[in-house]
Homo-oligomer: A and B are copies of this chain.
Amino acid sequence: MQFQLTKKFIEQLKQKLESDDHTWIHKNVLELHHADIADVLEELSHEEAKQVYYMTDDDLQADILMDLQEENRDRLIESLSIKELADQMEHLDSDDAADILGELPDEKIQEVISQMEDDAAAEDIVDLLNYDEDIAGGLMQKEFLKVELDWPVNRALRQLRRQAEDVERVYNIFVTDEDDHLLGVLSLKRLLIANSTTKIAELYNSKNIISVKTSESPEQIALLMEKYDLVTVPVVDYQNKLVGRITLDDVVDYLKEEADKDFQLATGISEPMQSDATIWEIAKARLPWLVVGLAGGILGAKVISGFEVSIANIPELAFFIPLITAMGGNVGVQSSAIVVQSLARGEQQIGSILGKIWKETLVGLVNGVLLSLLIFGIATVFGGLGLGLVVSISLFTVIIVAAIFGTFIPLVLNKYNIDPALATGPFITTMNDVVGLFIYFSIGLIIFSMMA
Binding site for B on A (CB under 8 A): 1-2, 5, 7, 31-33, 35-36, 39, 43, 157, 160-161, 164-165, 167-172, 187-189, 192-193, 207-208, 210-211, 224, 226-229, 231, 247-249, 252, 255-256, 259-260, 262-264, 266-269, 273, 275, 279-280, 282-283, 286-287, 289-291, 293-294, 296-298, 300-301, 304-305, 308, 311-312, 315-316, 318-327, 329-331, 333-334, 336-338, 340-342, 347-348, 350-351, 359, 362-363, 366-367, 370-371, 374-375, 378-379, 382, 424, 426, 429-430, 433, 437
Contacts and interface: CB of A to CB of B under 8 A. Distances in A.
A210 B36 CA distance: 12
B231 A231 contact: yes
Given A192-B157, A193-B161, A226-B252, A293 B330 contact: yes
A311 B322 contact: no
B334 A286 contact: yes
B282 A304 contact: no
B266 A266 contact: yes
A293 B378 contact: no
Given A193-B161, A297-B320, A322-B301, A290 B169 contact: no
B334 A267 contact: yes
Contacts of A260: 259, 341
Given A5-B348, A287-B367, A326 B275 contact: no
B350 A33 contact: no
A298 B268 contact: no
A14 to B, nearest CB: 14
4 nearest CB pairs, A to B: A297-B323, A267-B337, A259-B259, A300-B322
Contacts of A189: 164-165, 167-170
B301 A382 contact: yes
Contacts of A304: 318-319, 321-322
Contacts of A5: 348, 350
Which of A31, A224, A259, A359 has the most C-beta atoms of chain B within 10 angstroms of its own C-beta?
A259
Contacts of A255: 252, 255-256
A333 B382 CA distance: 30
Contacts of A320: 297, 301
Given A260-B341, A297-B320, 15 more contacts: A2-B224, A31-B207, A35-B229, A36-B208, A43-B348, A43-B350, A164-B189, A231-B247, A263-B266, A275-B351, A286-B363, A297-B323, A301-B382, A311-B311, A322-B322
A51 B165 CA distance: 49
B350 A7 contact: yes
A170 B351 CA distance: 39
B298 A334 contact: no
22 contacts: A160-B192, A164-B192, A169-B172, A169-B231, A170-B187, A231-B247, A231-B248, A248-B252, A266-B267, A279-B359, A286-B334, A286-B363, A293-B326, A296-B322, A297-B323, A298-B375, A305-B316, A311-B311, A322-B437, A325-B325, A325-B326, A329-B329
A252 B255 CA distance: 9
Nearest to A318: B318
Contacts of A367: 283, 286-287, 290
